[in-house]
Structure 1
Amino acid sequence: MTRFQSKVALVTGGRSGIGRAIAKRLREEGARVITAQRGQDTEFECIGVDFNEPEAADDAIATVMQLAGRLDVLVNNAGMMQEQLAEEMSLVDWTRNLTVNLTTPFALIKASLPHLRQTQGRIVNIGSTEGLGSNPKHAAYCASKAGLHGLTRAIAIDHSHEGIRCNAVAPGWIDTDLNIDFIESMPDPKAFKQGLGKIHPVGRTGTPEEVANLVAWLASEESGFVTGQVWTVDGGRMAKLSLPG
């Protein structure tokens, strides 16, 4: 398929994990993909940026326009997670989490809107099932992802009449390098992975490519009547009521 022929896509955090899978999928379908994150990306055109810096979002969008002259798809994927109880977390750390996970997507969207208006572009925000529920010690992460889901709806309401659609994807447990390393750190990785399978109705965890499949559809013309939605990709986990034992 060539759904993104002649289109330009910016994928933040596109150097690894879900972001890398999204970048590859969009490129496979014809898009010119630019990634943005700290450090260099050896596979894609990239923008080295620290999204903790106030001007980072404006600079990133300006660089995309300098490089490509247009923007059709914005994927807000870059994020961070810090495990800490609320009473133990400093306001500095709280602010850093919200800056990366929520304020930066807002700033990128704001800077992108004039250009997306010209191309009838699409925004896909990568939220989380933790914007719908919570794991322990994830107050900042959950708050920021819930906020990102709310921002998604607000942008859709304000700008869909201009041809700019905005949706979010909420992945559950996905087999990124980070999660795989976490499993391997368990005393019994095999048993832990089997346990993960049992809490998912489909019997397994997900892959980055499965998230990328949905992102590509949301960014394409095929989803033209879809906006303001949060799409859960979790193997049915959030739909399953738990039982004791």
Structure 2
Amino acid sequence: MTGRATGRIVVVTGGARGIGRAIVDRFAAEGATVVIGDLTDPGELFLQSDVAAGLAVAGHREWVPLDVTDEISILAFSESVAAAHGGVDVLVNNAGIMDTRALADETVAGWDLTMAVNLRGPFLMAKHLVSLMEGRADPAIVNIGSIEGLGANTFHSSYAASKAGVHGLTRALAVELGPAGIRCNAVAPGWIDTELNRGYVDKHPNREQAVADLASLHPVGRIGDPTDVAATVSWLA
């Protein structure tokens, strides 16, 4: 695995934790320079966990502050990456949130925030970073969608709608950017063992039963791990 992405510049939004963190680690282990776009500085967190795991990272990881809901922040991020690295080989639109409410309890503010992070964010990132990808060797965009973009769960109206939008955006970008040599794909994970999802399960009155029920939905008989998604993203990139 080491060396597969040597020399490549990879941008990962929401890379401080969960699936994003696993994607960052994967590309770094493959030798890439990974730019983490996140509201949170993951530096100390990464350092502590790397030391604890005895992880030897082949590539380089750096953090640039980013709010994917704010176009001005995205423009500043793009300018920073361009100045530091000259271009981008891979854009991974991973940042996302999940708003869990019954339809009657959903608010316009909650709906709009979910759309701003999960759907408008990938749109704006692609819009403002595609110029940094043109002319690169085999550039790629990978969007993190969800199985809920293909189906749905109760109390997830805004989340399911946003992820369906991500899948539609991905198809549109693939058609539009393909002639310029920029590939665009999406990954639609099932239930993944992340802090976000564990918080959801922890609220269940029978946590063990909830975990068992979720595992039974997957053909492999287990809940997915962030590294499963990271491996798929790496392959698509």
Q: Which residue of 1 aligns with 2:192?
A: 174
Which one of 116, 120, 129 corresponds to residue 133 of structure 2?
116
Change (3 A) 1:195 1:91: closer
Per-residue deviation, residues 67-90 of structure 1 (Å, max 9, x unmatched): 222210000000111122344323
Among 46, 50, 59, the residue aligned to 2:63: 46
Q: Does 1:157 align with 2:175?
A: yes
1:5–1:29 contact (8 Å) kept in structure 2: yes
Hey, what does 1:209 align to over in structure 2?
A: 227
Question: 1:21 maps to which residue?
Answer: 22
Deviations 1:90-118 (A, max 9, x none): 32222211111111111110111111112
RMSD (Å), alpha carbons: 1.5
**Letter in structure 2 aligned against 1:65:** A
Q: What does the per-residue CA deviation read over 1:11-48, in whole Å, with 9 as the maximum and x for residues that have no partner?
A: 00000000000000011111000111112121331112
Paired residues of 1:73 and 1:122 also in contact (CA < 8 A): yes
Q: How many residues align?
A: 219
Secondary structure at the counterpart of residue 218 of structure 2: coil
Matched with 2:151 is 133
Gaps of 5+ in 1: 220-245
Q: Which residue of 1 aligns with 2:121?
A: 104
Q: Give the TM-score normalised by structure 1.
A: 0.84
SS in 1 for 2:21: helix
Q: Secondary structure at the match of 1:192?
A: helix
Unmatched segments (≥5 aa) in structure 2: 47-60
Aligned-residue identity in percent? 42
Q: Is the 8 Å Cα contact of residues 18 and 195 (structure 2) preserved in structure 1?
A: yes
Q: Which of 71, 75, 80 is the equivalent residue of 1:58? A: 75
Cα distance in 2 between the residues matched to 1:7 and 1:203: 35
Q: 1:186 to 1:94 in 2, by over 3 A?
A: closer
Offset at 1:201?
2.0
C-alpha separation in 2, matches of 1:38 and 1:29: 25
Q: Which amino acid aligns with 1:197?
A: A
Counterpart amino acid of residue 82 in structure 1: D
Do 1:58 and 1:107's aligned partners in 2 also have CA atoms closer than 8 Å? no
Helix, strand or coil at the partner of 2:71: coil
Change (3 A) 1:86 1:14: same
For 1:39, give the aligned amino acid. Answer: T
Partner of 1:4: 5
CA distance in 2, matches of 1:96, 1:103: 10
Whether the 8 Å CA contact 1:77–1:126 is kept in 2: the answer is yes
Letter in 2 for 1:20: R
Q: Mean Cα displacement is larger for which, 174-183 or 200-209?
A: 174-183
Partner amino acid, structure 2, of 1:208 = P
